[in-house]
Amino acid sequence: MSGIDFFKRLLGGHASEAMQPTKLLQAASGMRTLVVDDSPTIRAVLGKMLGLEGYAVQKAVDGESAIELAKTEQPELIFLDIVLPGINGFAVLRALRHDPLTQHIPIVMISGNQQATEQFYVQRFGADDFIKKPFGQRDVQRAIDQLVRAERIPARVPVPVVATEAAISYEEIRSTLSGMAA
């Protein structure tokens, strides 16, 4: 929102437009995602959130397996925790950014640490976004929306409804329903 839009909203102009939620864009259905977190709860919850949106989800518990999966499976998006056993998320991020096989994959870093220094290092090392724990479905959707809008991942294309000759008319439905009621 620009400064002018902010003041218009503040002063009461176009309030209804400002109050309406923006429709978030989704990535292509079936997008391959990799969730990297040592917490089984976070892996399960984030995996469920992504699965409900129609994305294919793989999971890794540590940095070493994350790097290996990223190289072999080529996910289209990675959610990467900073604090991991073995090598930490910063080291994983650096390794993925320096490897020609994985340097193009968008990476959203996640952390429960509320320090701003982490966000600075995440951006400095080339992450695409950062989400603080605890997070909700809307936070995950916003991160994906931003990556779609930045054209880092492909957008979901609505499937057009095509009428065919075999389509049932409104009158046929009505007569069928009235016949069932009798």
Lowest-pLDDT range, 51-55, 118-122, 144-148, 155-159? 118-122
Average pLDDT over residues 151-157: 93
Write down the mean pLDDT value for the chain. Answer: 82
* Structure tokens, 122: 């995440």
Between 20 and 95, name the one with better pLDDT. 95
Between 59 and 117, name the one with better pLDDT. 59
Say if residue 62's pLDDT is above 70. yes
Is CATH 3.30.420.10 the right assignment for the domain spanning 21-149?
A: no
Say what the pLDDT of residue 138 is: 95
**Hey, where are the domains in the chain?**
21-149
Say what the pLDDT of residue 125 is: 75
